[in-house]
Amino acid sequence: MTKKYDVVVVGSGVAGLGTAAILARDFQQKVLVLERNPFIGGRLASFVGKGNKVYIDGVELDANGFRRALALAGAWIPKCTPDLETCFKEGLFDGYTIDTGHGLFWGNKGKIRMLMNYLEKPVDMPCNVGFAFVDYKKGNKAYQVAKGEAYKWMSEQGFRSTMIALRDMAVMTLEDIAQTAHMSFEQWLMARNVHKEAYDYIKVLAASQTGQADLRLTPAPDVLGHMAAAGPIKMNLVEGSCATVANPGTISFALLMEQVIKNNGGEVLRNSPVVEVIIDNAVVKGVTYQTAKGIETVSADRVICNIPSKQMLNVIHPRYFSHDVVDTVQNKFWGAGMITGYGNMKSDVWKEKGIEERSFIYMPDVIGAEEGYSGCIDMVLWNLANCAEGSNSSPELTSEIGSAPKGKHGWIFSTAMTHEEMRTPQKVQRVVEWNENWWKRTFGAKKWTSDMEYMLWMSTDHAFAWIQPIGQDRIDVKSPTIEGLYFAGDQYGKRLWGCGVDAAALSATLCIDSMMGSNTEEKVFPFYHRALPSPRKAW
């Protein structure tokens, strides 16, 4: 006999697990979550090194297994020094937590933490300590920024223009931001005639928040929403606003959400790829999915698709969408990709430069757009390992603290690129080589050899989201044509803003409220973290 569920969730990302957890706990819905991979969490993938292996969600991996797991999460390794097999053989990842690259903003005051608090499963999210800036084009000088002081790498006019633009963003309401829904952030900035120095600084700030390096392609609300929240949250880059998660990393969110689902009668199945969402006469009837024993079918009146928009047409036939929607998703959505270099060092190399090693560091415009990039390459440098020192992600998951062995010093290179750039090996290699050569020039080639125990580069072509074209709305959380079909994820929700895990957390509540007629969004989030209101109509 076919099993019957109230709701089936396809995919186990933040929004998929979040909707399932709340529906099971708050609304007593019988839920089933189907995940194609042997681990849950989607792009939350994080790995913990133990001896000469790494682990994710209880799965033990060698070098080849690690590559395959990354591929399942949409990531790959363009370069590793020493080579990956040597790193595993010598146990160089032992004691380290390696994430696939995420933007976790506002730490314990961010959206994902608010959702975890609501589920009574908090995750500690320690932030950067300090903010610094490397002016590569003017002598490669590094500046530690103190709260309230002028930016020393800028002219007086550039700093004033920067402060005015930041103030304009900080005082915006969600109603104001809703009016920019079909505007690019580039258009918003240009309307204010900002100084070039201000533009260059705000550009890297926006890219670090959204993973979108080309402001011409960046929806204005994705940036403005973040900046408007800074005031009510009372956080800033200097005092700390960018977060990380200690062992076992960002997958902590997924593992704890799964506990809520199971504790309330729900099920989460791994290695269960969905073959098709069953739809009859424009009404959802259930899903078919693959198991080790063959094809299984379950019935449900409601199905939530938590698969990224580019992949959703693999399980929901394109005939159920308009031609315009299919064409836009397949040909016009673009991926906000990311390339990240994870390193481990024996010493604090920033100390000699007068920089706090736990600072969030901007180094903009290192490779120009004239080399064929959508926007110039702006680097973010950070030390996740030392920011997480002393932190326990969740006592329910582990008694271990931190994300690196004691006495070690982490290093991160990171930059945003489009999915097309990420899929061009020459452009990826150019970024990798530039950064490694910059490090050797700045701190010394001998120190690179003696201090850098490994440098692991990881790429993903949609680390943050698949982004809709400027001027178009996101796909909404409720299908207008198929009864019982819903969507949840960092790209779903007409009123959604932002991307990554925080947007996914918000999308989960929008999906639930659309389905249940509830006010979950208001229960979970304070006003500054909520979705955009509907734009005011002009006369």
Superfamily covering domain 3-38+270-332+472-529: FAD/NAD(P)-binding domain (3.50.50.60)
The fraction of the chain above a pLDDT of 90, given in percent, is: 89
List, for residues 47-89, the tens digit of each pLDDT value: 999 999 999 999 999 999 999 999 999 999 999 999 999 999 9
Binned at pLDDT 50, 70 and 90, residue 110 comes out as very high
pLDDT at 150 over 70: yes
Binned at pLDDT 50, 70 and 90, residue 102 comes out as low
Per-residue pLDDT at 28 = 98
Per-residue pLDDT at 199 = 93
Per-residue pLDDT at 359 = 96
List, for residues 170-207, the tens digit of each pLDDT value: 999 999 999 999 999 999 999 999 999 999 999 999 98
Please provide the average confidence, as pLDDT, over all residues in the chain.
94
Three-class HEC string of 397-463: CCCCCCCCCCCCEEEEEEEEEEHHHHCCHHHHHHHHHHHHHHHHHHHCHHHHHHHEEEEEEEEEEEE
Please, which contacts does 161-164 make with residues 24 or more away whose CB atoms are closer than 8 Å?
A: 161/194, 161/195, 161/197, 161/198, 162/194, 162/195, 162/197, 162/198, 162/201, 162/202, 164/192, 164/194
Per-residue pLDDT at 431 = 97
Prior bond of 395 cis (ω within 30°): no
DSSP state string for 184-233: BHHHHHHTTT--HHHHHHHHHHHHHHHS---TTTSBHHHHHHHHHHHHHH
In whole angstroms, what is the distance from residue 202 CA to residue 182 CA? 20
Classify residue 127 by its DSSP letter. B
Please state the domain extents for the chain: 3-38+270-332+472-529, 149-235
The tokens describing 196, both together, are 């070039």
List, for residues 250-289, the tens digit of each pLDDT value: 999 999 999 999 999 999 999 999 999 999 999 999 999 9
pLDDT at 24 over 60: yes
Q: What are the Cα distances from residue 442, in Å, to 136, 141, 186?
A: 10, 10, 32
pLDDT at 482 over 80: yes
